[in-house]
Homo-oligomer: A and B are copies of this chain.
Amino acid sequence: MTGTSSTEDAIVEMLTSYHELNGGHVDELETTPSPLLLMQYIAKNRPFVLRGGATNWPATSLWDPAYLAMKMGNSNVKVAITPSGNADSPVRNSTDGRVYFTKPLEIEEPFDDFLTQIRQQEVEETSSTEVKYSQAQDDNLRGEYSQLYPDVPEDVRWATDCLGAPDAVNVWIGNGRSTTALHKDNYENIYCQIRGKKRFVLLPSVETPCVNIRFLPQAIYTRLRGSNSSLALSPESPSEDIPWPVWDPDRPGEEQTRFSRLSIPLHVELGPGDMLYLPALWYHKVSQECLEDRISVSVNYWYDMSFAGSLYATNAFITNISKLSNE
């Protein structure tokens, strides 16, 4: 160690050293992990995949469209609507040229109507229509989807033995049009694929210098002129700017920082029955694909992350230093 001569050098050395020490891959476990093994991954803040970890859940065999429609019927569910499947993402407003953190229009509608529409859209040739995604992330599998909750375990036993009971259990239902933009969560996440496929692009938390965190004003999609008009981006006022990554690892030449080239994105594809441990504070972009039944369904368990220790405080530090360096 000889020290580094600038902040930029120090960031480069951190990213290079991190990748040398960790490699560019996601471990695949052969068997269900013990709580101790999960804790070892949490300590390293590194992900793993458990193929077939949810294969034996009733949901994995039961949740075809007919069963879902039968169980949920015309119960109202919250549905996010966006022009192109881009919920909670940075969007440039054509009116003023500024980039906004843009939330979807959120409506409530009968589940069976929603299900019919997303499945119909999967076989349409054009992509002109708006995209719907049930992605409320508010513990909805124990709330508005509680009729389906008996078909999954109350928790992931090896995770609960390690971390305590889950804070939220969410179900995600959509089609191949939806993509969740790169972001991070303050949760340890056990992500379980039930129907269709999910593709993750994962970046470790130390790569915050690469993702171009910007403080964005907020906007929301609205229908300005009644229920049949198209969606328009409406800046919120007053609005508190929120920090958000604007770099997209799938378009690495756009919106990059001087450190983006040092990112090593990890790619994970989950099929029906597969599980992913997605560590707290990892950036992730998520897209999906439907199989023959034309739906993509996932369940995730959010467990509280530890704010004690050094991970949270040092991650904020790296974010602050890289923001100064990128200015």
A positions within 8 Å CB-CB of B:
1-7, 9-11, 13-14, 17-18, 21-22, 35-36, 39-40, 42-46, 161-162, 204-206, 215, 243, 306-314, 316-318, 320-321, 323-324
Contacts and interface: CB of A to CB of B under 8 A. Distances in A.
A45 B7 contact: no
Contacts of A321: 7, 10, 321
A166 to B, nearest CB: 17
9 contacts: A2-B215, A3-B215, A13-B320, A18-B310, A21-B312, A21-B313, A39-B39, A40-B306, A204-B310
Contacts of A1: 243, 316
Given A7-B321, A21-B308, 19 more contacts: A3-B320, A5-B324, A7-B7, A10-B317, A13-B317, A13-B320, A17-B313, A18-B313, A18-B314, A22-B309, A36-B162, A39-B39, A39-B40, A46-B309, A206-B310, A206-B313, A206-B314, A310-B314, A314-B318
Nearest to A15: B313
A316 B42 contact: no
A304 to B, nearest CB: 13
Nearest to A1: B243
B14 A316 contact: yes
A21 B307 contact: yes
State the number of copies, please: 2
A204 B309 CA distance: 9
Contacts of A45: 309-310
A321 B3 CA distance: 9
A322 to B, nearest CB: 10
Contact of A324 (B6, B215, B314): B6
Contacts of A10: 317, 320-321, 324
B35 A320 contact: no
A1 B323 CA distance: 12
A232 to B, nearest CB: 29
A47 to B, nearest CB: 12
A3 B318 contact: no
Contacts of A320: 3-4, 9-10, 13-14
Contacts of A39: 36, 39-40, 43
Nearest to A317: B14
